[in-house]
């Protein structure tokens, strides 16, 4: 059996070109490195915007590194046991974000040992996926928002997502109406409330915004509110998308079984890596839900290429000025390229994601 013989992690911080909020000006990267008993090496990472990176790094360095040594290095085989080992600290959140750092490195090592990209190791089903323009833009003026949407259109995107959740719903209506007018009828428009509403406000807001032909409403309620999402799905016709703040396969199964979401958007790092992500993808297919991975296009785009398209073709999210390559964080060329509204892989082995040893910002 090939085992894990060495594992280490380093914490770095990458400054965002465009702040996501006054208090979100950087993202924390915990770059990881694993060595297997056969000498193969792999690189992975954990990630979190602004909050929690030091806690993730401590969990990786103090607990996961010690518990991982001697376990199977085959992708997926160590995950459940390590999750159970960490469960005293929580079944999801910091624990699963940290677990992703090891899981991604193990998948990377396995693919590098075979001189393949990870998508080929899993089984690539398509050569490219549709990408959509996305941005953290609720604080933008309407003119700034429209300028951003125009940039996406000029870049060839045929689908875009904008933030909603202004204190006055009339302002949301004005902004969404203006964006729809700019997009025209043939481009897809999604909206994201980032958990800002309660059930009553979500109901009235979606009713006011639904005339603008919305592909989905994302995180209308607090991500933990299963009962609220279930009731909201009964009240509205716009598909509900959730997942960036659900942290393990069990929670995705809960939402899918209750009919609380028609679209799931797992963040591959937040759920614990590729191993649980593939479980969530199988659950989505079983329940007839679409799956569009959340953020991190250099990683999620590669995984999207491996997903079945029985329910809906997966899309990749490209947040403006937030990709690792664009932020200057990668030591190698980006493993994906986004052009004309689509994402495709570029030549690489493994995940093709290794971080520069010195990054901008402070850890």
Our CA angle for 269, 301, 41, nearest 5°, is 60
Residue 163 to residue 147: CA distance in whole angstroms: 15
247 flagged as catalytic: no
Dist CA 159 CA 149 (whole Å): 10
DSSP codes joined into one string, 70-138: TSB-STTTTHHHHHHHHGGG-SSSHHHHHHHHHHHHHHHHHHHHTT-BHHHHH----SEEEEEEE---T
Tokens of 296: 């991190």
Phi, psi of 140 (to 5 degrees): -70, 145
Three-state DSSP at 208 gives: helix
The whole-angstrom distance between residue 69's C-alpha and the CA centroid of its chain comes to: 28
3-state secondary structure 134-171: ECCCCCCCHHHHHHHHHHHHHCCCCEEEEECCCCCHHH
Return the beta strands (E) in the chain as ranges. Answer: 4-15, 26-36, 41-49, 128-134, 159-163, 188-192, 214-218, 240-242, 263-264, 290-291, 315-319, 336-339, 342-345
Of the residues 247, 294, 342, 348, only one is catalytic, namely: 294
- Could you say which of 33, 163, 292, 348 is catalytic? 163
Is residue 294 among the annotated active site residues? yes
- CB count within 10 Å of CB 331 equals 11
Query: Alpha-carbon distance 298 to 334, whole Å?
Result: 7
The Cα 171–Cα 175 span in angstroms is: 6
Instruction: Point out the residues that are catalytic.
Output: 163, 294
């Amino acid at each position: 059996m090939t085992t894990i013989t060495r594992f280490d992690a380093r914490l770095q911080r990458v400054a965002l070109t465009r702040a996501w909020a006054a208090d979100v000006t950087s993202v924390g990267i915990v770059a990881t490195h694993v060595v297997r008993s056969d000498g193969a090496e792999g690189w992975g990472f954990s990630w979190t915007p602004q909050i929690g990176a030091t806690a993730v790094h401590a969990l990786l360095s103090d607990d996961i590194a010690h518990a991982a040594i001697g376990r199977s290095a085959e992708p997926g085989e160590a995950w459940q046991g390590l999750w159970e080992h960490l469960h005293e600290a929580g079944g999801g959140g910091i624990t699963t974000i940290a677990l992703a750092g090891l899981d991604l490195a193990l998948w990377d090592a396995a693919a590098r040992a075979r001189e393949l990209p990870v998508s080929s190791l899993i089984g690539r089903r398509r050569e490219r996926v549709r990408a959509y323009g996305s941005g953290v833009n609720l604080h933008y003026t309407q003119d700034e928002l429209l300028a951003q949407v125009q940039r996406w259109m000029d870049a060839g995107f045929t689908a875009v997502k904008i933030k909603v959740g202004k204190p006055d719903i009339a302002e949301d209506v004005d902004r969404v109406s203006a964006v729809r007018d700019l997009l025209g009828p043939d481009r897809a428009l999604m909206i994201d409330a980032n958990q800002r509403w309660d059930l009553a406000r979500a109901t009235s807001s979606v009713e006011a915004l639904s005339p603008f032909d919305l592909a989905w409403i994302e995180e209308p309620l607090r991500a933990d509110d299963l009962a609220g999402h279930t009731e909201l799905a009964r009240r509205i016709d716009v598909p509900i998308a959730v997942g960036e703040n659900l942290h393990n396969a069990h929670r995705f199964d809960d939402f899918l079984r209750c009919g609380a979401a028609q679209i799931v958007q797992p963040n591959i790092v937040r759920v614990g890596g590729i191993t649980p992500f593939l479980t969530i993808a199988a659950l989505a297919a079983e329940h007839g839900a679409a799956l569009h991975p959340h953020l991190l296009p250099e990683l999620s785009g590669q995984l999207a290429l491996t997903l079945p398209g029985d329910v809906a073709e997966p899309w990749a999210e490209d947040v403006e000025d937030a990709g690792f390559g664009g932020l200057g964080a990668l030591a190698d060329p980006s493993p994906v390229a986004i052009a004309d509204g689509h994402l495709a892989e570029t030549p690489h082995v493994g995940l093709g994601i290794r971080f520069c040893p010195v990054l901008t910002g402070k850890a």
